[in-house]
Structure 1
Amino acid sequence: MRRLTLPEHQARAFSPIARPIADALATTGAVKVSADLEGRTILKASSYVGVLRCGEVELRVTPKIGIHRLLWLLGHAHDPSGWRDDDIVGLATVDDLVTAVAVSFHTATRRALTHGVLQGYRTVEEALPLLRGRLREADQLRHRLGLVVPLEVRYDDYTVDIPENRILLTAARRMLRVPGLPLATHAGLRQLLTTLADVTPLVAGDKPPDTPTTRLTRHYQPALRLARIILSGRSIDQPSGSTAASGFLFDLNKAFEDWLTITLRRALEPYGGRLRDQYPSHLDMMRQLRIRPDLVWERRAQPAAVLDAKYKRVKDADRPHADLYQMLAYCTALGLPEGHLVYASGDAPSSHTVVEVGTRLRTWVLDLARPTEHILDQVNRIANAVAAAIV
């Protein structure tokens, strides 16, 4: 097996990779493939990080920020009030994100199932030869008019096939598709499938059901938080010509945007209004040029502020003009005097006022390497500045 490593958003030259394998890698969208004048294969990573296996090539795209911080970012986006740093365990010898998630998830599920598989009541509607629970009279008349049996009934069944176990099972099945997992983790996940053999996996593409924390489910929550991270990722299991591509990827652009949305929404709660994500609008009067800002804060059902999340580094010497032009278009279309660009890293924040129109474009820079309290305080400062310009 030929193992390659590539940092996110960077390009590297490798000794030639066979064309079918290179095409399979490109098909996943995780990398762009080209060749240089010396015949080497150039792989350029996008915002996806994770692991891919195509033929004899295993490619790991690594994140720029630390694994613990990135897992916190992913977890906080799904459950800001419930996520805990000690959900991330057993990572002393782990050096990539997907393996870190798999190892932590295996450890958490093993702890959750120490005292057995959680059971609960599930409402079942089906046709039976004997009455069980309550008769669904309307359905009986509609579907069984004139028939004595079968009976359309509804009853509560005490079972292991409940949302919590369905989430764990589906996450385990996804992780087992990841190549190169530690043997102990892979074996543990296979055992989990056996333990949850009577559980139905979630339908592919469906949003995982809500699982409120109760006295009976509290011990399941660390495993469920990690399972939701897994289900937010993208499984790769597709044929490409004669070479199949498989693996697991996280889109860090989306992860950063989701985290910023949840965190800003909480920070803006004291000021009222509503923070909407992927706000649909148009740039022109004929409504032909669509725009979709990442975040728009509404007050009295009208846009009051616009923000865009940028998972990239911003430098004083090379301000991203394209981002500024994009934000200017958003402000113009929404009739706002100020717009905010929030970057994941870089140099100091800045502010630019556009000549003639006076629109103010502000850039904010987060330092994701700092302690979590500092990061959340940075977001609170952004929220305060956004609200101060309106209130």
Structure 2
Amino acid sequence: MDAAPDPYAPGHWSLRAGSKVGAVAVTVPGCEPVTVRITPKVPVVRLFFLLGYSPVHDRSWREGEVEVAEHHNLVPALAHAVERQMDRALRRGLLQGYKTAEESLLVLRGRLREAEQMRRRFGAVLPVEAAYDEFTTDIAENRILRTAVERLLRLPGVPRDVRRRLLYQRARLADVTAIVRGQPLPDWLPTRLNARYHHALRLARAVLDGISAEHAPGGLRIDGFLFDMNKLFEDFVSAALREALQAMGSGHTVRLQAPHHLDEAATIRMKPDFVLYGPDGSPCAVVDAKYKAEKRGGYPDADLYQMLAYCTALGLREGHLVYAKGNAPHAAHRVRHAGIIIHQHALDLDQDPAGLLMEVEELAQQLMNSPSA
């Protein structure tokens, strides 16, 4: 986001969001805190649903709380997002840390709780009331994640595949104690050591607060956030499309952002968002996602030229551009003297997640039916 003094209005600033979307608390000395809210240029009914498909960096979150809308009766979209971020957080194993434990032991460990020993044992030598620091996975961060999983598993309407993945996350956290309903959530501090947990913990907290957060003014307060919608949309299309193709069990493989070269000397690099390879290892489809809405004059011609270059270098007869909004769900252009067809697809982001994923599945089916597949 760019900010500059307004040359025509002294004391005012001009803000340009670019591709950013989010809500940020801004504090100006001597003034009340102000929330700057940037809405998507293309309506998105469930921003946090898309978030589940993107490995958003921790720098996307901002200091200072902002208000977002609440949706009571947690939506499956949030379950989707929480499970994905949790999987990323736990992929390298569970965090461990020191936790103070108090027990009655036959052998002294740690330090003696003298007052408790006198009160409970009346001068007896054994057992001893001891307190010690235990290095364990049963720490605040893991307990919050485990409790969020338990809460989501009790929700009606969570899709079967999401529920199956949540059960897998619960198995990972089997040795962690869930928080009893009504008890306060344990405190945790963002540090370098738990950095990979940050995003999952923030979404888990929304679950445990009993709501689903969405990007609109409301009564829920969460940390400020600022996401790049270009990257968010690109990640969603690539990840959701890959999952749809994997569900078909076709034996095809997918590579995201894989480097290729346009020229034979391998000096001009190109990185398509999504390339589908057949069982023999040869490319059979290419997709590029563009967070753009179709204007009156159509989509930018430069996108077509870029896709034509991808198809030519990969030896494909068809290419697919996927946009965030369009006047029609699909259009196709046959390139003169080349025999290449460039498809332009428009996803409707302003709908519930089930409908959006259905459109992605239809696109996946079209990729499988392409001549090269």
Conserved 8 A contact 1:331-1:338? yes
Q: Work out whether residues 354 and 360 of structure 1, in 8 Å CA contact, stay in contact via their aligned partners in 2.
A: yes
Q: Indicate how the Cα distance of structure 1 residues 101 and 31 shifts in structure 2: closer, same or farther if over 3 A, else same.
A: farther
Contact 1:167 / 1:201 at 8 angstroms: preserved in 2?
A: no
Report if the CA contact (8 A) 2:144-2:205 is conserved.
no
Secondary structure class of the residue paired with 2:68: helix
Q: Is contact 2:294-2:325 (8 Å) kept?
A: yes
2:262 is aligned with what amino acid?
L
> Could you report, residue by residue, the CA deviation over 1:336-362 in whole angstroms, capped at 9, with x for unpaired residues?
111100011111121111112221111
- Report the secondary structure of 2:67's partner residue: helix
Shift of 1:312: 1.1
Q: What is the CA deviation profile of residues 344-385 of structure 1, one whole-angstrom value per residue up to 9, with x for unaligned ones? A: 111112111111222111100111223433322211111111
Q: Which residue of structure 2 lines up, in the alignment, with residue 372 of structure 1?
A: 353
1:249 aligned residue (223, 226, 235):
226
Which residue of the other structure, out of 335, 353, 373, is the alignment partner of 1:354?
A: 335
**8 Å contact kept, 2:42–2:324:** no
Is 1:48 matched with 2:38?
no
Alignment of structure 1 residues 1-391 onto 2, 5 Å: 30-31=1-2, 33=4, 41-52=13-24, 53=26, 55=28, 59-65=36-42, 68-75=45-52, 77=53, 99-100=67-68, 157=136, 159-161=138-140, 163=142, 165=144, 196-197=186-187, 199=188, 201=190, 203=192, 207-208=196-197, 222=207, 248-269=225-246, 270=248, 271-299=250-278, 300-315=280-295, 317-348=297-328, 349-389=330-370, 390-391=372-373
Unaligned segments of structure 1, at least 5 residues:
1-29, 80-96, 109-120, 126-131, 133-154, 169-193, 212-218, 231-245
- 8 Å contact from structure 1 (residues 282, 290) kept in 2: yes
Say whether the 8 Å CA contact 2:286–2:311 is kept in structure 1. Answer: yes
Task: Give the paired residue count.
Answer: 259
Deviation at 1:261, TM superposition (A): 1.7
- Contact kept? 2:23, 2:35, Cα under 8 Å: yes
- Name the amino acid aligned to 1:49: V
Q: How many angstroms apart in 2 are the aligned matches of 1:102 and 1:278?
A: 35
1:320 offset after TM fit, Å?
Answer: 1.3
- For normalisation by structure 2, the TM-score amounts to 0.55
CA distance in 2, matches of 1:200, 1:295: 37
Given that 1:67 and 1:100 are in contact with CA atoms closer than 8 Å, whether structure 2 keeps it comes out as no
Q: Which amino acid aligns with 2:362?
A: R
Asked if structure 2 preserves the Cα contact closer than 8 Å seen for 1:202 and 1:208, the reply is no
Distance 2:43 2:297 in 1: 26
Whether the 8 Å CA contact 1:167–1:208 is kept in 2: the answer is no
Q: Which amino acid aligns with 1:252?
A: M
SS in 2 for 1:100: strand
Q: CA, structure 1 residues 74+162, in 2 after alignment: closer, same or farther (shift >3 Å)?
A: closer
Q: How far apart, in 2, do the equivalents of 1:69 and 1:337 lie? A: 35
- Structure 2 segments unaligned to the other structure (5+ residues): 56-64, 73-77, 79-93, 99-108, 110-133, 148-183, 216-222
> Take 1:383 and 1:50, find their aligned partners in 2: how far apart are those partners?
30
Where 2:242 maps in the other structure, the secondary structure is helix
Give the TM-score normalised by structure 1.
0.53
Are the counterparts in 2 of residues 167 and 202 from structure 1 also a CA contact under 8 Å?
A: no
CA–CA distance in 2 between the matches of 1:310 and 1:31? 22
Q: 1:65 to 1:351 in 2, by over 3 A?
A: closer
CA deviation map 1:211-267 (0-9, x unaligned):
9xxxxxxx989459x99x99xxxxxxxxxxxxxxx9530111111112112211122
- Tell me: CA distance 1:34–1:265, structure 2 relative to 1, closer, same or farther (3 Å): farther
Identity %: 34
Q: CA deviation at 1:313?
A: 0.5
Give the aligned residue type for 2:19: S
Maintained 8 Å contact 2:259/2:269:
yes
Equivalent in the alignment of 1:83? none
Shift of 1:32: 6.1
Instruction: Give the letter aligned to residue 2 of structure 2.
Output: V
CA change 1:262–1:36 in 2 (3 A) is same
1:84 paired residue number: none
User: What is the CA–CA distance in structure 2 between the aligned matches of 1:289 and 1:204, rounded to whole Å?
Assistant: 40
User: Whose relative contact order is higher, 1 or 2, with alpha carbons under 8 Å and at least 6 apart?
Assistant: 2
One-letter amino acid of the structure 2 residue matched with residue 325 of structure 1 = Y
Alpha-carbon shift at residue 100 of structure 1 (Å): 2.5
Supply the RMSD in Å over aligned alpha carbons: 4.6
Measured at CA, do residues 280 and 354 of structure 1 come closer, stay the same or move farther in structure 2, by a change above 3 Å?
Answer: same
- Is the 8 Å Cα contact of residues 257 and 273 (structure 2) preserved in structure 1? yes
CA shift at 1:64, angstroms? Answer: 3.7
Counterpart of 2:258 in 1: which secondary structure? coil
